[in-house]
Amino acid sequence: RTQLRGDELIVVSNREPYIHEDTGHGTIVKRPASGLVTAVEPVMRACSGTWIAHGSGSGDRGSVDKHDRVLVPPGKDDYTLRRIWLTEEEEKGYYFGFANEGLWPLCHVAHVRPVFRENDWQEYRKINQRFADAVVAEARSEDPVVLVQDYHFALLPALIRKKLPRATIITFWHIPWPNPESFGICPWRQEILEGMLGSTILGFHTRFHCKNFIETVDRYLEARIEHEHSTISFHEDTTFVENYPISIAWPSDTTMATWAPVAQCKERVLQRLGMPPGHRIAIGVDRFDYTKGILERLHAVERLLEKHPEWIGKFSFVQVAAPSRSSLEEYRAFQDRIQNTTRRINERFGNDSYQPVHLLAEHHESDALNELYRAADACMVTSLHDGMNLVCKEFVAARDDERGVLILSRFAGAAREMSEALIVNPYHVEETADALHRSLTMPEAEQRERMASLRMTVHEFNVYRWAGRMLTDAGRWRLRERIEARV
């Protein structure tokens, strides 16, 4: 808040932070499963302003008008949520099509081939323009600070810049940026890069993603790059490219005081899943997405039971898989594969009273997730590629008892900060299975050491620092521009 001294703040993202659903008996408000929302929401609560997002929850047109512009969080009214409504066709082309079948697999090296359709691209351009118009319409000043979130809006920065040349535009790309060869297959690579370079500040999670982006611009655009300052000058604009590792809001003492003791969480979870006291569990929590390495994780669990039969009947793996992008064929095929593999492992190692894998393919309330984090002996984050990954940070934040072991993919951005986890290559089933065995047999003292150190990192490098660093950089930039304008 102090960084901006009363400047106007506008956030743009595809996903809305709250979903208002009209039932026959009134409106219910839900929170979506999204890393972006987890990270940005606490910042908006602290800073206030306007959040522009694609409205998803409300069914009929009548409720649309009612929920067009609402104050959130419900009852607290910290900031305004302004919804943009899309037709089914627009959502299909812009969101499911170009963003999720094109850019998502293009930027994640998960060996799923991106799909580029001309029609999707045209919808993507059109919707980016619509959001740019909304930013201009919402802006109360000619130099707002606009936070553009993610790969749904690569064209937005330049479009906003055209109408509001004095705006400070901070774009944060929540997913990885690949190397120039990989990115270069995109038929519209030049427009995308030019769109992004409308930003004042362009943020990625890691230094490595920044480097890939700068090299991509160097390869495909006539731009001036100053490596020393990490800036790119293109036409009239200069963009500062920097890494800002995202994180979570560390739970307050008051929040922690409401948590049930770990022993009780364990008891409840085991009871709910029909497991006897003392049963050991590892967990996974993800959107149901092929980049998260859920299949590889299941293979590792299977290998553990093969290699160490002493765990059969004593250990289970629990996977929360929140439904995501299920209208896409690739995602439905992936869900089927996971379901089949789960069934196969359960038939192979389970019996009437023992189920080695529990697949909970539904959305959970965040309290239920926290209880699961607290109940787990190990948490498996085995993404094939991940910008950052917040689940590993949430797990660590939940463990004030300093127990539990984190198994973390080296291909998640988080691995760069969280080296006290058991770091694995998720493609290496044997290595992951060994890490799982190690986590289940790790002495308490070692668990404590690793967890204490991880907790210090996540506590210190929390989401306020992520946002604070970006806003401080933006504030400095604005001052410089004001000074230069006087000269």
Stretch that binds ligand GDG, among 31-39, 65-73, 134-142, 261-269 (CB under 6 A): 31-39
Among 106, 246, 265, 357, binds ligand GDG (CB under 6 A): 246
When asked if residue 426 is in the footprint of ligand GDG (CB under 6 A), the reply is no
Smallest gap from residue 392 Cβ to ligand GDG (A): 8
CB 73 within 8 A of CB 45: yes
Q: Is the dihedral of CA 248, 37, 412, 206 positive or negative?
A: negative
Contact pattern from residue 87 through residue 106 relative to ligand GDG, giving x for each residue in contact according to CB under 6 A and a dash for the rest:
--------------------
When asked if residue 53 is in the footprint of ligand GDG (CB under 6 A), the reply is no
Collapsed DSSP state (helix, strand, coil) of residue 438: helix
When asked if residue 390 is in the footprint of ligand GDG (CB under 6 A), the reply is yes
Spatial distance between the Cα atoms of 229 and 251, rounded to a whole number of angstroms: 35
When asked if residue 433 is in the footprint of ligand GDG (CB under 6 A), the reply is no
- The two tokens of residue 69 are 């512009």
Spatial distance between the Cα atoms of 240 and 227, rounded to a whole number of angstroms: 10
When asked if residue 41 is in the footprint of ligand GDG (CB under 6 A), the reply is no
Contact pattern from residue 110 through residue 149 relative to ligand GDG, giving x for each residue in contact according to CB under 6 A and a dash for the rest:
----------------------------------------
Contact pattern from residue 267 through residue 286 relative to ligand GDG, giving x for each residue in contact according to CB under 6 A and a dash for the rest:
------------------x-
CA 481 to the chain's CA centroid: 32
CB 75 within 8 A of CB 148: no
CB 413 within 8 A of CB 175: no
Spatial distance between the Cα atoms of 406 and 289, rounded to a whole number of angstroms: 20
Q: Of 381, 320, 319, 373, give the one whose Cα is nearest residue 345.
A: 319
For the segment 209-228, give every residue that binds ligand GDG (CB under 6 A): none
Spatial distance between the Cα atoms of 405 and 443, rounded to a whole number of angstroms: 11
Q: Is the Cβ of residue 94 or residue 151 nearer to ligand GDG in the bound state? A: 151
Stretch that binds ligand GDG, among 111-119, 265-273, 294-302, 358-366 (CB under 6 A): 358-366
Q: Is the Cβ of residue 152 or residue 299 nearer to ligand GDG in the bound state? A: 152
Q: Is the Cβ of residue 149 or residue 216 nearer to ligand GDG in the bound state? A: 149
DSSP H or E stretch at residue 239: strand 237-243
Cis peptide preceding 105, ω within 30 of 0? no
Spatial distance between the Cα atoms of 209 and 230, rounded to a whole number of angstroms: 13
When asked if residue 174 is in the footprint of ligand GDG (CB under 6 A), the reply is yes
When asked if residue 33 is in the footprint of ligand GDG (CB under 6 A), the reply is yes
Contact pattern from residue 310 through residue 329 relative to ligand GDG, giving x for each residue in contact according to CB under 6 A and a dash for the rest:
----------x-x-------
CA 263 to the chain's CA centroid: 30
Q: Is the dihedral of CA 482, 475, 233, 185 positive or negative?
A: negative
Q: Is the Cβ of residue 379 or residue 440 nearer to ligand GDG in the bound state? A: 379
The β-bridge relationship of strands 280-287 and 378-381 is parallel
Among 366, 419, 441, 472, binds ligand GDG (CB under 6 A): 366
Task: Using CB positions, name the residue nearest to ligand GDG.
Answer: 35
Contacts with ligand GDG by CB under 6 A: the residue count is 25
Spatial distance between the Cα atoms of 188 and 192, rounded to a whole number of angstroms: 6
When asked if residue 391 is in the footprint of ligand GDG (CB under 6 A), the reply is yes
Smallest gap from residue 364 Cβ to ligand GDG (A): 4
When asked if residue 377 is in the footprint of ligand GDG (CB under 6 A), the reply is no
Stretch that binds ligand GDG, among 35-43, 63-71, 333-341, 350-358 (CB under 6 A): 35-43
Tokens 């940070």 -> residue: 393
Tokens 């984050």 -> residue: 381
Residues that bind ligand GDG (CB under 6 A): 31, 33-36, 38-39, 174-175, 246, 285, 287, 320, 322, 363-364, 366, 369, 386-391, 394
